[in-house]
Structure 1
Amino acid sequence: MRTLLLGHWDTGGNLVVSASRRIEDDDEATVAELVAGQGNNAWADTFDTDNHRAAIDAAFAQYVHETDIDGNDVSETLIDQTTGLRHR
């Protein structure tokens, strides 16, 4: 199983996750169908986990978390609308 996260980038540079779906590893048709229905500033990715929280953590690490040259955290925020979590 994989977890598909769907969302968008807001005007403040934050990643907003609005939906999460568990999908079978080989079900690319469902992924394509769900992604095609998204609007402007859309974002989507699948993660090799069947756990929503693990997928959120992976999305944060891959797309949001940043450090500057001195190692300071300069990340934007991941907002998980499905759980109310704000990850920074």
Structure 2
Amino acid sequence: MTYVITQPCEGVKDGACIDACPVDCIEGTPDTPMLYIDPEVCVDCAACTSVCPVDAIYPEDEVPEEWTSYIKTNADYFGRSADDDDD
């Protein structure tokens, strides 16, 4: 399973999650609206969730209904299909 960054990150991009991630699976640029988690690199450690100031990060199977499109958004950022996840 992977974690997913959702709508509350848009425009915030605090970056604390990047520092907390032990496998460097969170990325974004100054030009992107938010940060993204690489679903193939995430090790499901949850280190990012406790440091997110806007509670934007959820386990993939717990993403609120209104934000499920962000599962694909995170995968697409890394050129991956959300269906490619073998977990």
The interval holding the TM-score normalised by the smaller chain is: 0.3 to 0.5
TM score, norm. by length of structure 1: 0.35
Larger RCO of the pair (alpha carbons < 8 Å, separation 6+): 2
Q: Say which one has the larger Rg.
A: 1
- Structure having the higher helix fraction is 2
TM-score between the two structures when normalised by the length of structure 2: 0.36
